[in-house]
């Protein structure tokens, strides 16, 4: 079922969903199952599965350093299919511009159709670790708008090198990212909202936001988006702080502000066990306020761990 249909079917009730990260290459999928199993009692209608782009490593060969391109967390589509089969839940693979050609994207979407995966998350993706700025892959897309357009073209039967007229056309429900505190590369929040409006105008069906810790920023973002004519569902993304280093890491990596009250609470903790409790409680209060405001879904970034998400879900669902 499409994400938008899940939202309609809920008749105003706030749904629960979460995002997972594929295991590192060579690791068993069982650890992933162990983290997902406890969360299934809260009946998530869908689970997002991230895609990691390629990165370069250097291997010594004959006394020289040989540059190799690798993916440390492959298997997004296989995991989506596995979770769909094991838990009878809809899965949402993340489809990236970075690291993929247009042809590779088309192959992935064809595979999604074969696997009866109806939802995809269309993202530009981040720059590689060794890059300061995002560089598009040769033969790939530079912007998420182009990716949304390609997916919608396939929905109409228009593939890169041929066109099909068939009763079995794809009908992908497309999610895109929104940034309550603006994308780190955007010159302003207003210009960032214009880019989001372009994605929606091209066919994006719903928005999932970057993490945030101040609900006022989310509410202001939604209001500004509505005023601009963005009328698709906007789903808040929530990540509980779990360790002290998040105070510095999250603002650095994701360019998000952390409220002073939360900073002081975390700094007062003796260890990360106490930090985890603070993070869970803050996320619970965030989630309660968001649910009271009528958000369609509360979407949690689990980062491969379920214990803190479990504690939050118990209080809300």
Known catalytic residues are 19
Contact of 50 with 93, CB cutoff 8 Å: no
Start-end of H helices in the chain: 3-9, 30-36, 76-87, 102-114, 144-155, 189-201, 215-227, 246-254, 260-267, 272-292, 307-316
The phi, psi pair for 202, rounded to 5°, reads: -80, -10
Q: Which helix (H) or strand (E) holds 134?
A: none
| HEC per residue, 202-249 | CCCCEEEEEECCCHHHHHHHHHHHHHCCCCCCEEEEECCCCCCCHHHH
DSSP structural state of residue 298: E
> For residue 48, which of 95, 107, 116, 6 has the smallest C-alpha distance?
95
Start-end of H helices in 96-188: 102-114, 144-155
> For residue 192, which of 246, 135, 124 has the smallest C-alpha distance?
124
Give the up-direction half-sphere exposure of residue 186: CA atoms within 13 A in the CB hemisphere: 18
State the Cα torsion 121-123-129-135 to the nearest 10°. Answer: 150
Angstrom distance (rounded) from CA 165 to CA 152:
15
Give the up-direction half-sphere exposure of residue 272: CA atoms within 13 A in the CB hemisphere: 9
């Amino acid at each position: 079922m499409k994400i938008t249909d899940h939202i309609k079917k809920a008749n105003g009730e706030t749904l629960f969903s979460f995002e997972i990260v594929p295991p590192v290459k060579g690791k068993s999928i069982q650890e992933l199952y162990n983290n997902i199993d406890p969360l299934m009692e809260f009946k998530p209608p869908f689970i997002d599965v991230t895609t990691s782009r390629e990165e370069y490593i250097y291997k010594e060969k004959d006394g020289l350093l040989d540059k190799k391109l690798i993916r440390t967390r492959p298997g997004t589509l296989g995991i989506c299919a596995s979770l769909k089969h094991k838990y009878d839940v809809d899965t949402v693979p993340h489809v990236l511009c970075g690291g993929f050609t247009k042809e590779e994207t088309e192959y992935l979407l064809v595979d999604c159709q074969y696997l009866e995966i109806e939802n995809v998350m269309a993202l530009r993706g981040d720059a590689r670790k060794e890059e300061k700025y995002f560089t598009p892959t040769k033969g790939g897309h530079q912007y998420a708008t182009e990716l949304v357009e390609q997916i919608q073209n396939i929905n109409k039967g228009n593939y890169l090198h041929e066109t099909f007229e068939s009763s079995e056309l794809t009908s992908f429900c497309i999610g895109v990212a929104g940034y309550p505190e603006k994308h780190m590369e955007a010159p302003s929040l207003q210009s960032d909202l214009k880019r989001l409006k372009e994605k929606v105008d091209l066919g994006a069906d719903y928005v999932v936001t970057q993490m945030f810790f101040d609900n006022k920023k989310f509410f202001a973002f939604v209001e500004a988006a509505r005023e601009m004519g963005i009328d698709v569902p906007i789903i808040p993304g929530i990540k509980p702080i779990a360790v002290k280093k998040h105070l510095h890491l999250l603002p650095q990596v994701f360019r998000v502000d952390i409220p002073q009250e939360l900073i002081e609470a975390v700094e007062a903790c003796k260890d990360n066990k106490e930090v985890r409790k603070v993070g869970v409680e803050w996320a619970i209060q965030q989630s309660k306020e968001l649910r009271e405001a009528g958000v369609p879904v509360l979407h949690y970034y689990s980062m491969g761990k379920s214990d803190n998400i479990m504690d939050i879900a118990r209080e809300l669902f």
